[in-house]
Amino acid sequence: MTPLIDPGQQDPAATAGYRQHRRMLWQLLRVHHADTLAEARARGFGVDLARRAAAISIRGETRAWMSELLTRATVPVLSTFLASGRRWGQSGEHLMDHSEAVVQVIDHSYPLPTWTTLDPVEPTRALDEAQWSGWVCAWREAFNVAARSSAAPTNAEGDSTLRRWAPWLTSTAVILAATTIVVTATRE
């Protein structure tokens, strides 16, 4: 497991290179998928069957690559990606239809983990349905915890907010006390 590194503390040059490399890998996966799809169509497969065959041909690489992005992108971007209703399909055949969403995840990923110590899955392990399912369950559990903790401020954040407002609250209390004293004195 890798230690967590805050996104703001990661090397900008390394981050840019990492993202560029991930974009290149994404394009290579898409080209391989398109080539396999065209080949399957040329052999007479129907559209759905050809898409499924093309997705299966790159399943291990795609799962491994996505597992890295899913552990390296920021939680808010992953929440948006997941909440937008993107479905990979049974064999990942629909992932290629959502390139802009995937690129958005790439553009918010970092070379070092920022929110989980869960390691990405290797391509050979990603082909094994049991191992892939186990990894996905572990990732989902870790992500749910991270999403909940990032949505709700921690006590330290709540305390710092209170400290920021303390001078204003104190001055408001003083003004209210002074006003109350003046109104009470005026009535007598």
Residue 96 burial class via C-beta count within 10 angstroms: exposed 0-12, middle 13-18, buried 19 and up = buried
Tens of pLDDT, residue by residue over 15-43, are: 999 999 999 999 999 999 999 999 999 99
Q: Per the domain annotation, does 82 fall within a domain?
A: yes
33 & 96 share domain: yes
Do 146 and 160 share a domain, yes or no? Answer: no
Each residue of 120-154: pLDDT tens digit?
999 999 999 999 999 999 999 999 999 988 775 54
Q: Does residue 51 lie within any of the structural domains?
A: yes
Residue 11 lies in a domain: yes
Domain that holds residue 188: 156-188
Residues 95 and 172 in one domain: no
106 and 173 share one domain: no
Q: Give domain status of residue 71, yes or no.
A: yes
Closest CA to 71 of 174, 146, 128: 146
Is there a single domain that holds both residue 104 and residue 30?
yes
Number of domains in the chain: 2
Quickly list H helices, 43-115.
47-57, 59-72, 75-83, 99-106
What are the pLDDT digits (tens) for 38-69? 999 999 999 989 988 898 899 899 899 999 99
Q: Considering the domain boundaries, does residue 174 fall inside one?
A: yes
Residues 35 and 97 in one domain: yes
Residue 59 domain-assigned? yes
The single-letter DSSP state of residue 84 is T
Q: Is residue 21 part of a domain?
A: yes
The verdict on 176 and 137 lying in the same domain is no
Q: Specify whether 14 is located in the same domain as 69.
A: yes
- Establish if 79 belongs to a structural domain: yes
Cβ atoms within 10 Å, residue 10: 15
The H or E element spanning position 132 is helix 129-151
Distance of CA 174 to CAs 98, 160, 177, 181, Å? Answer: 57, 22, 5, 11
Percent of the chain with pLDDT over 90: 51
168 and 127 co-located in one domain: no
* Rounded CA separation 110/7 (Å): 7
Backbone angles phi, psi at 44, to 5 degrees: 100, 10
172 contacts: CB under 8 Å, gap ≥ 6: none
Q: Do 103 and 55 have their domain in common?
A: yes
pTM confidence score: 0.73
